[in-house]
Amino acid sequence: MSTALIIEDEALIALDLQTELQGLGIDVLGIARTGAEALALLRAGDPDIAIVDLMLNGDASGGPLADTLSARGVRVLIVSGGDARQAAQGGHPFLSKPWTRDDLNREIDALTAPA
């Protein structure tokens, strides 16, 4: 079973992601609203995947955080209501907000598929 870390500053979106992931049989390590919270959660567990909002509290801090997670072997999905070109610079899969359940499930399936 996979474990996920959600890094999202909008509470309703984070809870929706948590519900969707749990519905797919994925354990959720936790929800972080900031990069600092995400790093603290990383010390408490070892997620397989992370869903990272590109813009955290109005700051583009999600991109470097995604790179840090990826360097630790965590597979990352970037979500954002912003520009996909900015997210693509990190080479991570991207899902535009608002997304459909089918789109989210397809991206999660790709992240959790054996390499």
Q: Residue 62 has what pLDDT?
A: 84
Tens of pLDDT along 48-96? 999 999 888 866 678 889 999 999 999 999 998 876 555 555 788 989 8
Closest CA to 96 of 110, 82, 106: 82
CATH of domain 1-53: 3.40.50.2300
Say if residue 115's pLDDT is above 80. Answer: no
User: Within 10 A of 98 (CB to CB), how many other CB atoms are there?
Assistant: 9
Q: What backbone phi and psi angles, to 5 degrees, belong to 42?
A: -65, -35
Q: Residue 81 has what pLDDT?
A: 81
Q: Residue 92 has what pLDDT?
A: 87
Q: Report pTM.
A: 0.91
